[in-house]
Amino acid sequence: MATSRDSRPFILIIILLLLINSPEPQQQSFATRPRYDHTIAREWDALDVLNRTRYGDFDGEHGHWLNLTGFRENDGLAWQLLAPVQQRAKEQTVGLLGVQAEGALTGSLDESSYSAVYRNVTGFVQGEWARSKIGHDSPAPLLNLSAIAPDSAYPLADYDRNLTGGSGNVRIHFTELGDRTRANVNESISEISARIVIGEDTSMGDWWEFTLHGVHFLKFGGVVLTTTSEKFAGIFALPHFTITDHLYSISQELLNRTVHDTITRQESRSYPTWNPWSSAVDGTSESLFPAPHCEYIIYLQQHPVHINRPSKQYPISNPYFMGLIEDEMRYPTGSPLPNPSQLSMSMVAFSPDCGFVIESKGPPEYSPTEASHLKGLKLEKFMDGARRSTLAFAAVLALQVILVVRQMKEASTPSTRSRISFYSIAVLALGDGFAFLTLIFVHLYLNTSLLALYATAFLALFSVVFELRFLMDIWTVQATERRRQERQEASIHPAATSPGVSLSNVPQGTQPTGPIDSAAGVDTLPLPVTASRRGVDTGVTSIILPPDQDEDATADANTATGTTGSTGPVSTRIELGTLYTRYCLILIVTFFLTLHSTSWPTAARSIYSNLLAFSYLSFWCPQIYRNIMRNCRKALRWDFVIGQSLVRLMPITYFYAVSDNIIFSENDYQALLVLFGWVWIQILALVSQEMVGPRFFIREGWAPPAYDYHPVLREDEEGATMPIGSTQTSEEESGSPSTTMPGESKEKGKKIFDCTICTQDIEVSVIPSGGSAESNSGLGGNILARRAYMVTPCRHIFHTPCLEGWMRYRLQCPNCREILPPL
C-alpha cells in the first residue's frame, strides 16, 4: 500500500529529529569514581578555606591570595579589577538607596534606614549593557589553563561567553526557592540562582545563556552572583566579593551552611553530580570535556519600589507594607492595595579571567529616555500577563474556528469547493498546527506550566481538525476534477498518448473509465431541467433550489464511493494519506527547525523568524493564483478573508510588538510593518479580482485560456457564436421547445432571450454582423451590461444571478446537462 510506504521515512525523520534534539546521554560510568572522590575532596578543602578566611584576606593588589582555584597568585586572573568593581557596586547601591545605604551595608538597620524593595525577586529583568570605564585599558589576561586546572583537559578553543562588543542586551531570570533553610535566622540574606541571557550587538549578534549562583541581601535588595567551574571556585570565594564587612560575615555564615549541605547531598547521591553550581543551563551538560568559558561575577542592586498613589493607611516606609503587597501578588485576595512599580535593577558585571567589566545602561551616565537599567516583572505579574495573552489567543482561536465553519457552510457544494485554493487553507492549517505545538512546548521558555496554555492548545487542535476536514473536502473535489482534466487532455490528443502512456500519467491505480464523472457528480444527477421546470410551472420563479439537497450534502461521498468504478476513490484515499503525511512532516520539520533556531545567533534567528512569518502570512497568494488560473472569483467569503487576515496577524503582532511576551522575542516594528503591508497587498489583490476581474493585473497569454461567460455577442451569418434560442435550428437541438423563444428585435442591436431558470426575458445587446463604428462605441459601455448575462459553452444564455446561483450546486447546464467550466 502506498500509504504505508509513505509513512516509513516520515517516522524515521521524526526519530532522527528526536535524537538530534535530545541531550547527549551522560557518561556516568563509575570508572570515574576516583576522580569524583577527588573532586569532592577538593570541595571540602575549598569549604574549609571559606570557613577559615576573614574579611580582607583576599586582596590581589596587596599580595593576599586564597588557596582556591583561580584565586592563587600564579593563576594570573585580572584581580586588580576587583577593587574598582567593588567600589563601583558600592556607588551603585549608595546612589540608589541614598541615606539608607549606610545602614543597609553595615547591618545597622533600623526603621529609619529601611528601603522598600521586593524581598522575593523571583521573576526577570531585562535591558541593555555597555562596557564600563573600569578595565577599559587593561589587557585581557593570558591564562595557562593547564596550570590553573591540571585535572581537566580543556580543548584548545576560544573562550565561550567572551563579550567583545561594546554593548548588547541582557536578561536575568531569578529563582528564589521558598524553603527558608536557604535564608539565615534574621532573614537578611538568602540563596538565589539566576539564569542570564546575554548577547552583544556585533554583526552576528552572538549570545549566551548560563546560570549563576549567589546570595540575595533581602534587607536592601542587593544581589551578588558568581559562576563556578573547574577552573574557578567562585561560590567558595563569594563572601570576598561583597562590599562590606557586615555583608561578608552574613554571606560567609550562610554559604558555610548551604555549601556544606550541598556537598553532603552530592556525596550521598548514587550518581555523580560533578558540579552542583554548574553554569550550564540544563545543569547536566557540563561534560567531561567542557569548552572553557569566561567566568562572571555580577553585582545587582534593586531599585526602591515606588507607589504611584501612596495610601495613608500603608505608608511606603512601613516595613510590613511591602510584605503585604508581595503576599497579595502571590496569593491574591482582592485587597485594595495600590499598584507598586515593577521590578528594576542596576548591574555591574565583571569577568576576572576574560578581563572585562560591563554595566547596565541607564541614568546617570545615559539619559533615562535612552535606557533605564534593567526592568522586568515579578513572576506573579508575568504569569498574570501570560495568562491574559493566552486567554486572548484562545478567543482568537475561537473566532478562527467560527470563520472556518462559516466558510465551510458556504462552500458546501463541489462547485464552490473547487474555487477555493487548497494551499491557502493548508497554510492556515499549518499555522494552527504550529500554534498547537508551540503552546505545548512553551513551558520550555516559561519554566513553569500554565493550565490555560494546555486548554488553548486543545482549542488550536480543534481548529486544526476543522481545517483538515475542510482540506479533505476540497481535495476530494479537486482531485476528481484534476483526473477529469487529465482524461480530457488524453482524449484531446489521442495520437500523442496511447492508452498505455496515459495510464502512467494519471495517478497510480487510476484507469481511464468510460463515463466522465464531473465535480458535480453528473452521473448521479436526476433530470434537473424538468425539476426546475416543474417549479417554474407552479409559479415559483426566482428561488433556485438544488434538485436534491441530500445528494449535495453527500456529494463528496458520491465521488468517493463512485458510480464510475472503484479506481478513482482508492487513489483519492491514497492521495489523502500522502497529504496528511506531508502535512505532519512539514509541520514537525518546521517546528523543530524553529526550536533549533532559538540557539542561533541573533541575526540568523531574526532572519529565520521573519522569513517564517512572511511565508505564513502569504496565505492568500495561492488563492490569488488559483483565481487567475481558473479565471474565477467568489471563492471565499469576505468575512473569512478579512477575519482570517486579522486573526492571523494578531499573535504575530504580539510577538513582534509586545516586549514582555511569553517567549521573550525581540521587538521589531519595521518587520511587523512589512508583514502588515504584505497582508494588505494580498487582500487588495483579492478585492480587485472580485471587482475588476481575476486577471486584470496579468498580461494576456500569461494564464491559460479560460472560458469567458460574458462574451461580446456578435451576429454573424452562421450564428455560430450566438446563444441558442435566437435560431430555429438550435431550438430543435435543445429538445425543449417551450424553453427558448425565437429572438426578436425590439430595437436595433437588441435581442431578447429567455432564461430557463427564471423564465424571464433577457434583453442583450448584439453587435450586428459587419459591426460599425456605432457598435464599437457601444462596446465600452457594455462591459457592465455584459455582466448581466452569462453564455455557457453550449451556447445557452441565462441571467448572471440565476446561473451563478445554479452553479453553486451544479456545474452543468440546466438546459442540456453539458459540463460547465467553473466560475
Ligand X SMILES: *[C@@H]1O[C@H](CO)[C@@H](O)[C@H](O)[C@H]1NC(C)=O
Q: Does 78 bind ligand X (CB under 6 A)?
A: no
Q: Does 485 bind ligand X (CB under 6 A)?
A: no
Q: Which residue has the cell 529616555?
A: 369
Q: Which is nearer to ligand X, 17 or 140 (CB)?
A: 140
Pairing verdict, β 750-754 and 797-799: unpaired
Q: Does 796 bind Zn ion (CB under 5 A)?
A: yes
Per CB under 5 A, which region of 374-382, 416-424, 504-512, 755-763 contacts Zn ion? 755-763
**All residues at 6 or more sequence positions from 52 whose CB lies less than 8 Å from its CB, including other chains:** none
Q: Does 631 bind Zn ion (CB under 5 A)?
A: no
Please check whether residue 372 is in contact with residue 342, taking contact to mean a CB–CB distance below 8 angstroms.
no
What part of residues 295-324 is at the interface with ligand X (CB under 6 A)?
none
Q: Please, what is the minimum distance in Å from the beta carbon of residue 256 to ligand X? A: 4
Q: Which of 145, 636, 757, 820 binds Zn ion (CB under 5 A)?
A: 757
Per CB under 6 A, which region of 252-260, 282-290, 720-728, 756-764 contacts ligand X? 252-260
Q: Which is nearer to Zn ion, 269 or 534 (CB)?
A: 534
Residue 27, judged by CB atoms within 10 A of its CB (0-12, 13-18, 19+), counts as exposed
Q: Which residue has the cell 481575476?
A: 694
Q: Which residue has the cell 463528496?
A: 556
Q: Please, what is the minimum distance in Å from the beta carbon of residue 365 to ligand X? A: 23
Binding mask 367-386 for ligand X (x = CB under 6 A): ------------xx------
* Strand ranges inside 326-391, DSSP E: 343-351, 356-360, 374-378
Q: Please, what is the minimum distance in Å from the beta carbon of residue 311 to ligand X? A: 24
Q: Please, what is the minimum distance in Å from the beta carbon of residue 248 to ligand X? A: 10
What part of residues 436-475 is at the interface with ligand X (CB under 6 A)?
none
Q: Does 252 bind ligand X (CB under 6 A)?
A: yes
Q: Please, what is the minimum distance in Å from the beta carbon of residue 333 to ligand X? A: 15
Q: Which is nearer to ligand X, 229 or 421 (CB)?
A: 229
Q: Please, what is the minimum distance in Å from the beta carbon of residue 316 to ligand X? A: 21
Per CB under 6 A, which region of 41-49, 564-572, 626-634, 707-715 contacts ligand X? 41-49
What does the block give as the cell for 346?
Answer: 542596576
Per CB under 6 A, which region of 129-137, 181-189, 278-286, 404-412 contacts ligand X? 181-189
Q: Please, what is the minimum distance in Å from the beta carbon of residue 633 to Zn ion? A: 20
Q: Which is nearer to ligand X, 226 or 682 (CB)?
A: 226
Q: Please, what is the minimum distance in Å from the beta carbon of residue 112 to ligand X? A: 15
Find how far residue 388's CA is from the centre of its chain: 18
Per CB under 5 A, which region of 59-67, 127-135, 592-600, 790-798 contacts Zn ion? 790-798
Q: Which of 106, 181, 186, 542 binds ligand X (CB under 6 A)?
A: 186
Q: Which is nearer to ligand X, 330 or 469 (CB)?
A: 330
Per CB under 5 A, which region of 293-301, 322-330, 563-571, 810-818 contacts Zn ion? 810-818
**All residues at 6 or more sequence positions from 542 whose CB lies less than 8 Å from its CB, including other chains:** 758
Q: Please, what is the minimum distance in Å from the beta carbon of residue 818 to Zn ion? A: 5
Q: Does 162 bind ligand X (CB under 6 A)?
A: yes
Q: Which residue has the cell 552583544?
A: 200
Cα–Cα distance between 198 and 196 in angstroms, integer?
A: 6
Q: Please, what is the minimum distance in Å from the beta carbon of residue 479 to ligand X? A: 54
Q: Please, what is the minimum distance in Å from the beta carbon of residue 793 to Zn ion? A: 8
What does the block give as the cell for 790?
Answer: 452569462
Please check whether residue 554 is in contact with residue 458, taking contact to mean a CB–CB distance below 8 angstroms.
no
Q: Does 43 bind ligand X (CB under 6 A)?
A: no
Q: Which is nearer to Zn ion, 510 or 815 (CB)?
A: 815
What does 260 bind: ligand X, Zn ion, none (CB cut-off 5 to 8 Å by kind)? ligand X
What does the block give as the cell for 755?
Answer: 432564461
Count interface residues toward Zn ion (CB under 5 A): 11
Q: Please, what is the minimum distance in Å from the beta carbon of residue 542 to Zn ion? A: 8
Q: Of the candidates 451, 435, 447, which has an alpha carbon nearest to the alpha carbon of residue 396?
A: 435
Work out the angle at residue 822's Cα, subtended by the Cα atoms of residues 821 and 823, and round it to the nearest 5 degrees: 120
Find the length of the chain: 823
Q: How far apart are the first and last CA of the chain?
A: 37
**All residues at 6 or more sequence positions from 614 whose CB lies less than 8 Å from its CB, including other chains:** 674, 675, 678
Q: Does 147 bind ligand X (CB under 6 A)?
A: yes
Per CB under 5 A, which region of 63-71, 327-335, 749-757, 766-774 contacts Zn ion? 749-757
Q: Of the candidates 118, 270, 103, 281, which has an alpha carbon nearest to the alpha carbon of residue 193?
A: 281
Q: Please, what is the minimum distance in Å from the beta carbon of residue 330 to ligand X? A: 5
Please check whether residue 785 is in contact with residue 793, taking contact to mean a CB–CB distance below 8 angstroms.
no
Residue 762: enclosing H or E segment and its boundaries? strand 761-765
Q: Does 213 bind Zn ion (CB under 5 A)?
A: no
Q: Which residue is nearest to ligand X (CB)?
A: 178
* Strand ranges inside 470-526, DSSP E: none
Per CB under 5 A, which region of 322-330, 341-349, 440-448, 799-807 contacts Zn ion? 799-807
Q: Please, what is the minimum distance in Å from the beta carbon of residue 233 to ligand X? A: 10
Q: Does 245 bind ligand X (CB under 6 A)?
A: no
Q: Please, what is the minimum distance in Å from the beta carbon of residue 758 to Zn ion? A: 3
Q: Which of 158, 282, 550, 747 binds ligand X (CB under 6 A)?
A: 158
Cα–Cα distance between 709 and 713 in angstroms, integer?
A: 11
Q: Please, what is the minimum distance in Å from the beta carbon of residue 742 to Zn ion? A: 18
Q: Of the candidates 798, 780, 781, which has an alpha carbon nearest to the alpha carbon of residue 789?
A: 798
Q: Does 646 bind Zn ion (CB under 5 A)?
A: no
Q: Which of 33, 269, 330, 388 binds ligand X (CB under 6 A)?
A: 330
**684-695 burial code (b ≥16 CB/10 A, e <16):** ebbeebbeebbb
What does the block give as the cell for 74?
Answer: 600564579
Phi/psi class of residue 580: alpha, beta or left (left: φ > 0; alpha: ψ in -120 to 50)? alpha
Q: Which is nearer to ligand X, 5 or 180 (CB)?
A: 180
Please check whether residue 374 is in contact with residue 342, taking contact to mean a CB–CB distance below 8 angstroms.
no
What part of residues 84-143 is at the interface with ligand X (CB under 6 A)?
120, 122, 140
**All residues at 6 or more sequence positions from 549 whose CB lies less than 8 Å from its CB, including other chains:** none
Query: How far lies 66's CA from each of 115, 232, 247, in Å?
Result: 35, 12, 19
Residue 496, judged by CB atoms within 10 A of its CB (0-12, 13-18, 19+), counts as exposed
**All residues at 6 or more sequence positions from 346 whose CB lies less than 8 Å from its CB, including other chains:** 92, 96, 300, 301, 303, 359, 360, 362, 373, 374
Residue 264: Cβ within 10 Å count: 10
Count interface residues toward ligand X (CB under 6 A): 30
What does 158 bind: Zn ion, ligand X, none (CB cut-off 5 to 8 Å by kind)? ligand X
Q: Which of 176, 230, 359, 432 binds ligand X (CB under 6 A)?
A: 176
Q: Please, what is the minimum distance in Å from the beta carbon of residue 821 to Zn ion? A: 12
Q: Of the candidates 209, 211, 210, which has an alpha carbon nearest to the alpha carbon of residue 602?
A: 209
Q: Does 156 bind ligand X (CB under 6 A)?
A: no
Please check whether residue 453 is in contact with residue 447, taking contact to mean a CB–CB distance below 8 angstroms.
no
Q: Does 203 bind ligand X (CB under 6 A)?
A: no
- DSSP per residue, 672-703: HHHHHHHHHHHHHHHHHHHHH-TTTTS-TTTS
Q: Of the candidates 708, 439, 433, 768, which has an alpha carbon nearest to the alpha carbon of residue 589?
A: 433
**Sites of contact with Zn ion (CB under 5 A):** 755, 757-758, 794, 796, 799, 802, 813, 815-816, 818
**Sites of contact with ligand X (CB under 6 A):** 42, 45, 47-48, 51-52, 67, 120, 122, 140, 144, 146-147, 158-159, 162, 164, 176, 178, 184-186, 252-253, 256, 260, 330, 354, 379-380
